[in-house]
Chains A and B, each alone.
Chain A
Amino acid sequence: MKANCWYGKKHLRVEEVPDPKILNARDAIVRVTSTAICGSDLHLFNGFMPSLEKGDVLGHEFMGEVVEVGAGVKNLSVGDRVVVPFPIACGACNACSRGLWSLCENSNPNAWMAEKLWGHSPAGLFGYSHLLGGYAGGQAEYARVPFADVGPLKVPEGLDDEQVLFLSDIFPTGYMGAEMCDLKGGEVVAVWGAGPVGQFAIASAILLGAERVIAIDRFPYRLDLARERAGATDVINYEEVDVYEALLEMTGGRGPDHCIDAVGLEAHAPGPMYAVDRAKQAMMLETDRPLALRQAIRCCRSGGVISVIGVYGGLIDHFPMGAIVNRSLTVRSGQCHVHRYLKPLLDRIQRGEIDPSFVITHRLPLSDAPRAYQMFSDKQDACEKVVLKA
């Protein structure tokens, strides 16, 4: 089969690899019909995630048709159309039983590596480093899906791929970002980053009752999409105005009630701190650039929630702990517990409350994956979201 393989920083190749086989009784093999490039895939592309090996198959947003099931899979049949959640979860451990699916205690065969880095290991993920399991990803013609009796969501008749593909990651991830703000109705929420996850965080905050949602980015096409399609009530281009001043001006000096960081470890910002963080990253004094996170903490109304759904991998510097303690801020975060949200969000799609396909700007064949990554990374051609067709 064809698969999109990692060969180093900014070096991908679509090449022929053997078809996947059932390795565990609870596996299924899925013929991938649609797969997408995630913003977090760019952290792999740009070399910010450790423990990749040359030849790794990337991709964790995918869906397709079941073509084979292991002896332990009773709920799926050959021919079923499924969306696959990006975390791999066994459904039986303590974390899974508490609904913390991205913290599955059994799905990372390389848990010891993650323990060295983070103290404990989270779940294994598709196509996202050896530290997170060493699983082949879904940017391929076929994918092996472990615990297929637990994760995949059967797609009802009448929904096309593009309406449900993003249940695999970015819609639930954005939704969880808004949910962690504990919205009661009437709040002002600010969202850093108007990439695909940010768009879904904005749309979800509106769905969950926020009265105003302010999108922050530097690309006018992304801010336009946020306002016109995701439902942002206000936008801020951080290259044109001072974000802190603008947010205080918009909120009568209070600051946003809650702040969502949908940027993560490769943040940009005008001003000297950006250069300082870039330099520290280059010198390995810190691994992640927390510019959006620092700003979100500074801007957030006292007593508010900082909801972090952008990806961080390691260490950050100059973390404003003083603001958190003295202003009673709450930091919440997590890789999305996708399994928890599949059904409720599918229901919202079926009721017509949201059509997640609004973020798609490019549809390309799988063979164009390397070019598509570069385009997405460079924000060329107003690229917001790329769907690859296998």
Chain B
Amino acid sequence: MQSFHHPPLSRQIGLLGLGFGIGAIAKLTLSRRPGSVSDARHVKVRTTVTIRREPADVYRFWRDLRNLPLFMRHVQGVTESDGHSKWHAVGPGRTRLEWEAEITSDRANEQIAWRSLDGAALPNHGAVEFVPAPDGQGTEVHLELGFEPPLGALGAGIARLFDQVPEIQLKNDLRRLKQILETGEVVHSDASIHRGLHPARPVAPEKLPLLHGLVRA
């Protein structure tokens, strides 16, 4: 499944700077980043969203790992067999990353946790919890990802990437999950379908990026 990509983060932040001090507001917010903890070797990112579906529905969609690239923009494909999954992703500088992972915890309708197997270029682990929201409003999805960038240039690049605005990327991933589960597909605007900044206007058919197909979850 083809996914398409965010504009570079620096340009996204630049966009915010266009009007009256909004850039300052963004910087102020970003400098706090309560959702992430990082030291030289370990980066942790957390985010959460509420989806108006039963925990069982959200769990079922997530547990089919082939669905993850539909809403995780940096993940291009996941296949699963014999309890192991193989992940294809795009890393910093558009480097291709591949690794194998195993599910370390799987509690139906409640939680899934996973970690990469030895030999991953970017050792990582993650956990997602599905918690019923108050008053029957649906499901709170709490996602945490952890990375242990290797030493050296690639590791430094990854650390820099996650030192920017990881919560925004991850939150946008969860927002797309919410769109799929609540409306049936990822929601597109004339500007959002393009990489980088693009005016809010239609483009000729030959310039139209490949979009996700309709997903009925």
Contact = CB atoms under 8 A, between A and B. Distances in A.
Nearest to B168: A112
Contacts of A49: 19
Interface stretch (A50-58, A154-162, A246-254): A50-58
A313 to B, nearest CB: 8
The majority secondary structure among interface residues of chain B is loop
B15 A130 contact: yes
A93 B178 CA distance: 9
Interface string B176-217: 001100111101111111000111111111001001001000
Interface size class of chain B, counting residues whose CB lies under 8 Å from the partner chain: 35 or more
Contacts of B187: 24, 90, 106-107, 109, 124, 146
B151 interface: no
A97 B200 contact: no
A137 B211 contact: no
Contacts of A107: 187
A53 B191 contact: yes
A321 interface: no
A133 B175 CA distance: 14
Interface string B139-175: 0000000000000000000000000000010011001
A231 B191 CA distance: 42
Interface stretch (A12-20, A184-192, A212-220, A331-339): A12-20
Interface residues of A, number: 51
Interface string A105-143: 111011111001100000010010010011111000000
B16 A17 contact: no
Interface of A: 3, 5, 17-21, 23-26, 49-57, 71-72, 90, 92-94, 97, 105-107, 109-113, 116-117, 124, 127, 130, 133-137, 144, 146-147, 284, 287, 314
12 contacts: A54-B199, A56-B200, A57-B199, A92-B182, A93-B183, A94-B50, A94-B138, A105-B178, A105-B182, A113-B12, A133-B192, A135-B189
Given A52-B18, A111-B172, A287-B20, 13 more contacts: A21-B202, A50-B20, A51-B16, A51-B19, A55-B201, A109-B189, A112-B171, A113-B15, A116-B22, A130-B197, A134-B190, A134-B198, A314-B20
